[in-house]
Amino acid sequence: MARPISSFDRSIVLVGLMGAGKSTVGRRLARRLKMPFVDSDHEIETAASRSIAEIFEQYGEESFRDGERRVIARLIEGPPKVIATGGGAFMNERTRRLILSRCIAVWLDAEPEILAERVSRRDTRPLLRDKEALPFLRDLAEIRNPIYAEAHIHIRTLPSPHDRAVADILKALSALRSAA
């Protein structure tokens, strides 16, 4: 008898560029799977008692990435959950190896035009400070997408409801489980 889709022995980690929907999709996916949800950026802000933007400004990106890696490692150590990561988390080799070896990595992939429209709704992205979103995101996608492609599951997100991405992830998780 097949195990129900809601029973996983490892965390599901969402990766992808800013604006891909990792937090929103992650919350909905966690509800469907009856698993806890955590947003690593929120956990970092809580641990540091500052916003991501303040951490970047005061300590720089390298220090932020080190703290991010430690927080993600701590989150992975606990019981299985759905984890939304910041866009750059998977770029850190140590973080990426940890996620790929101990979790199911899901890449939420969206066109830069969609991402630019989504991120323009909030002014909280340190990497976008004083930059035009679309050209920056195109360049970032060119650099990061080959790394995101290492994820176990690749989900193309469209300008459609996030529930469509959740359904696509559930289908891919079911196929992954069947292949195991």
Residue 159: what pLDDT? Answer: 75
Asked if residue 85 belongs to a known ligand binding site, the reply is no
In a domain, 151, yes or no: yes
Query: In this predicted structure, what is the pLDDT of residue 78?
Result: 84
| pLDDT-based confidence at residue 5 (cuts at 50, 70, 90) | very low
144 known member of a binding site: yes
Rounded distance between C-alpha atoms, residue 131 and residue 179, angstroms: 43
Residue-wise pLDDT for 127-164, tens only, equals 556 677 888 899 999 999 999 999 999 999 877 788 89
The three-state secondary structure class of 126 is helix
172 vs 120 pLDDT, higher one: 172
Total domain count, the chain: 1
- Residue 7 domain-assigned? no
The mean pLDDT of 14-33, rounded to a whole number, is 94
Q: Show Cβ contacts of residue 95 under 8 Å, excluding neighbours closer than 6 positions.
A: 65, 68, 69, 72, 73, 89
Of the candidates 146, 158, 173, the residue with the CA atom closest to the CA atom of residue 10: 173
Flag whether 65 is marked binding: yes
What is the DSSP code (8-state) at residue 85?
Answer: -
Whether pTM > 0.85 for this model: the answer is yes
**Tens of pLDDT along 61-116?**
888 888 899 999 999 998 999 999 999 999 999 999 999 999 999 999 999 998 88
Residue span of the structural domain in which 57 resides: 12-179
The answer to the question of residue 4 being in a domain is no
Domain-embedded: residue 5 = no
Residue 38 lies in a domain: yes
Q: Binding site annotation covers 156?
A: no
Asked if residue 10 belongs to a known ligand binding site, the reply is: no
Q: Judge whether 136 lies within some domain.
A: yes
- Here the CATH number for the domain that contains residue 52 is 3.40.50.300
Summarize pLDDT for 108-120 with one digit per residue, the tens: 999 999 888 877 7
The verdict on whether residue 160 carries a ligand-binding annotation is no
Residue 3 inside a domain? The answer is no
Does 42 score more than 80 pLDDT? yes
